[in-house]
Chains A and B, each alone.
Chain A
């Protein structure tokens, strides 16, 4: 099958992008615990946050409960064990012994999106610190009014460099690295803020999920929140494609798995899509208008809408910026259409999530799979159908975070057992061949050994 695709590409039957997407999807589908690559954890506590830098895709930043943050080189191993096990040791570590280190657990560690010269750590000791990577010194710190649960920087921003921070306080604060001050305090939540996510399509839009179960959208150029997601306001399935429904998409909707409603919704969808796009546009316009009018205070009913029963523990947008995934302490994963603000009602299969901690979700770059830390395992769900695709078992304690590296199609997961595990695409036959080459008779061959 793989060879066929290669041949198709050779013949020019397959476009380059499609070929690439197919390759990526295949690799993403074959993730397994990597035996070739491992991170030697320097942490003495739960790993709470993982992120690979956005510029090179090479440096993994991890933040842990013992107040330490470490940077690993993902590409180049520091040493090799038994000939073929690449061991990645940390190339930078700041912990409690550091003169400016955090006193308590680091809840979030994020790279400065523009280069790897800076990173930001948020900690339960109520500080958000900005570090110079090269000198491992604190450049700037911000004192928050409570434990800081999360921090986020916009990956696409060009005009602002704000760190959005969510803490046990009800306000979202935006810290400006340039001035060293809070530029915004966004109030609206009725409880602490567990998760924050910048929009992937607009650099001004910030989304926040609070312990009060609400997900609020903020336009940082204007006062107040302009949208509160409501779990009862729903649209069925995926947003209809704007131009025309391709046969694939039809298939996809059909494969959603709902027996009767799928059929009807599909029909509706097709009918809708067959209807002129004008209608939809007008709908959108009216909606937008209403929104405009409503905005400053929002009507009280809308203002009290919730998206989860319980706290919103994790938020993640898809790469295209159209959908938002949220996880809640009600052990639910919801997929939201950002544009309409509707719950898409994708039924993600039964899962059990941690309730008291921010979770870090991961989505593949073509939004097809979402990785969710479910207690001691990580589950991969099909984003559109909600079906469980795989469960990744390997951690011995609760998993807090996962990060999907688009460049290498690798999944990094951090857990309470201090480990950072690498899940990489595995092609068993291929790796075995390599193993045979590299093995130097150091350890027993992994083969059948029937003595009797």
Chain B
């Protein structure tokens, strides 16, 4: 059987000896000469590092393989042995040769398909235990090429070789190798295309019938809108005249600024305010507009896309319909632009509508709830009337609406205008948010059960009428805050650096590199030095003044410390100047003046220090006060912190019971009846035990005393 030789000659595990044996196969004896050439050709073709087999060599291989079956057998065995080499590039080249032969020779196909279960793992490397050998790039190429080739083989010869079908199914389903599936995707796409075309042609057929009606509908809507706009325009012209004529008549617009804003907006939008008489026109217009934009425009666009995509034999209808639709679309666009120019846009319409509905809903709900209570008949009737008379309701809402619209504009004005309020604002303390704000300003009692829910507490019965007295609440609400100093901004040193730029160190008084911190200009030159350079000629008093000013500036910016520092420094400097002035042989007057200035400065300095001390005193005082208050008001931790004698608390608690219980008293342990019983039980037990022991002892002594009498 020829098959036995085929099946026994199996991939990879073949030795050169076996190779030789196969080579000396009698069937290939005829091609003995060709064999060596075939072997050498394949060896040469697969021993390069080139990315693909040399086409000349490949042609030679093919021609020699075509010559005889023996050559093909030899090529097959040689290729199989090459495929088992531990080098992916060799495998890749061998595989490409095998692919060429597979596509051409039937014998090669039958040989390869019989050995396919050994061949495929070598080419695709799907077995975990035997991945493709090292050159990773070649391995990737090999896998890709193998999978593609297998798919091609399967497509062409799958019907003839069960092994191919099996291999493809196994790789797809069990090994989960991704097939490029080019053919499948192309086919699927074609099928999808055909299906969509079918649908599109059906749609076009439908359109053929309904085209006229669609167009008529759209036209009518657009006409409606145009008519509405005409009416409004006519009214607007009237209105313009009205506005120009009697300005004063508009009583409801109070302030001049408001009126000007309103006028400006009206002029910009060329917009006519909606009033009761033109309301119907507006409603119709809105309706038509919405219809046009949300329905007609969309349908027209859909139809255009359908017509663009459809493929018909007869394109005349398509072209004409397309043209018409594009015209209609442009028309719709024009109308829409016109509307938006007039300020009538869809969002606006929708919002108004939404508000209205919301309001209506609320009214309705309220009416429902209030209706059964007989005490409020009056109000319920009132509500009912509003909800019934929608027109009136709408108007009310509109009024509210406009008010709200004005509010933000007016708000700034009033805030600025009201000096009393602004003063109060300035004075008002900033309080952190807490539950205190909940009852801000109220001085009544509060229910313990605030929510008013009827809850059966498992801790016991709930007293629903329990009330927290106002005094207690005030006590609870005492607000403590610790004084915080305003944050001080530390200025950077700003001395010029050698490498350019300014020193960015922020030190309080002295920069470790550039000495004390002085205010400097943009280039880093200190103001003092700058002034000092020509200060010799200038009046020292003036100097002092300048310095004083700068000092103040400094103080304002840097806070107290800076002020102190700079001022002390400045006295030195001014002393120097004094000396300099003296040496410079100037008049006595100037010396006097200088001294006076120094004195002034020192005095101011003293003042400063005193003020500062007073300030600190105040702060300390404030903090202490606050802390004490807090301690008195609140709980035990403050008591512990201030080590108040416990008996005072006890006294307070006992005496306070009559008046008002305090928080601290709650912390005191209460002696309950349970405790008392427990104590008593314990005592009785103890006495029992002592009695028993005593009697036992007595007994024992009795027994000892009279051993034979018991």
Contact = CB atoms under 8 A, between A and B. Distances in A.
A32 B3 contact: yes
Interface in B250-276: none
Interface in A427-452: 435, 442-444, 446-452
Interface in B149-167: 156-163, 165-167
A214 B10 CA distance: 36
B106 A448 contact: yes
B244 interface: no
A438 to B, nearest CB: 11
Contact of B156 (A30, A34, A443): A443
Contact of B115 (A393, A395, A396, A421): A393
A331 to B, nearest CB: 18
Contacts of B118: 393
A396 B63 contact: no
A34 B159 CA distance: 12
A394 B118 CA distance: 9
Nearest to A40: B169
A443 B117 contact: no
Interface in B322-349: none
Contacts of A391: 7-8
A446 B105 CA distance: 9
Nearest to B8: A391
A450 B104 contact: yes
B104 A449 contact: yes
B163 A33 contact: yes
A164 interface: no
A34 B104 contact: no
A395 B117 contact: yes
B163 A418 contact: no
Contact of A444 (B8, B114, B117, B156): B156
B595 interface: no
Interface string B155-197: 0111111110111011001110000000000000000000000
B162 A417 contact: no
A35 interface: yes
B10 A393 contact: yes
A443 B158 contact: yes
Contact of B162 (A38, A418, A444): A38
Contact of B7 (A35, A84, A393): A393
B109 interface: yes
B66 interface: yes
B33 to A, nearest CB: 20
B557 interface: no
Nearest to B114: A393
Q: Which of B66, B114, B160, B173 has the most CB of A within 10 A?
A: B160
A446 B160 contact: yes
B174 A418 contact: yes
Nearest to A391: B7
A103 interface: no
Contacts of A442: 159
Contacts of A35: 160-162
A413 to B, nearest CB: 12
A390 interface: yes
A130 interface: no
Contact of A450 (B8, B66, B170): B66
A390 B117 contact: no
B59 interface: yes
B163 A394 contact: yes
A421 B170 CA distance: 13
B290 interface: no
A400 to B, nearest CB: 15
A85 interface: yes
A419 B59 CA distance: 39
Contacts of B114: 393
A376 interface: yes
A446 B157 contact: yes
A82 interface: yes
Nearest to A81: B159
Contacts of B115: 393
Contacts of A418: 173-174
A421 B169 CA distance: 13
Q: Which of A392, A394, A451 has the most CB of B within 10 A?
A: A394
A392 to B, nearest CB: 8
A446 B109 contact: yes
Nearest to B127: A396
Interface string A217-229: 0000000000000
Contacts of B117: 376, 393-396
A82 B63 CA distance: 33
B455 to A, nearest CB: 51
A396 B159 contact: no
B62 interface: yes
Contacts of B8: 391
Nearest to B175: A396
A127 B411 CA distance: 85
B4 interface: yes
Contacts of B468: none
Contacts of B105: 448, 450
B174 A396 contact: yes
Contacts of B4: 390
Nearest to B164: A35
Contacts of A30: 1
Contact of A396 (B10, B104, B165, B170): B170
Contacts of A444: 156-157
A42 to B, nearest CB: 12
A32 B1 CA distance: 12
B160 to A, nearest CB: 4
A395 B163 CA distance: 9
Q: Which of B114, B120, B159 has the most CB of A within 10 A?
A: B159
Contacts of B159: 81-82, 84-85, 442-443
B103 interface: yes
Interface in A355-395: 376, 390-395
Contacts of B106: 446-448
A449 B102 CA distance: 10
Contacts of B104: 448-451
Contacts of B103: 449
Nearest to A442: B159
Interface in A13-34: 30, 32-34
Contacts of A85: 159
A178 to B, nearest CB: 42
Nearest to B171: A396
Contacts of A395: 117
A193 B281 CA distance: 95
A179 B174 CA distance: 43
Contacts of A419: 166, 169-170
B345 to A, nearest CB: 58
Given A393-B10, A394-B117, A452 B173 contact: no
B115 to A, nearest CB: 7
A376 to B, nearest CB: 7
Contacts of B109: 446
A393 B158 CA distance: 18
Contacts of B166: 394, 396, 419, 421
A38 B66 CA distance: 33
Contacts of A397: 174
B38 to A, nearest CB: 15
Contact of B63 (A32, A393, A452): A452
A449 B157 CA distance: 12
A87 to B, nearest CB: 11
Given A85-B159, A417-B174, A448-B106, 11 more contacts: A81-B159, A82-B159, A392-B7, A394-B162, A395-B117, A396-B117, A396-B167, A443-B156, A446-B157, A446-B160, A450-B66
The 8 A-B pairs with the shortest beta carbon distances in the complex, nearest first, are A446-B160, A82-B159, A35-B162, A443-B159, A396-B170, A444-B156, A450-B66, A448-B106
7 contacts: A30-B1, A38-B162, A390-B7, A396-B170, A418-B173, A419-B170, A448-B105
Interface of A: 30, 32-35, 38, 81-82, 84-85, 376, 390-397, 417-419, 421, 435, 442-444, 446-452
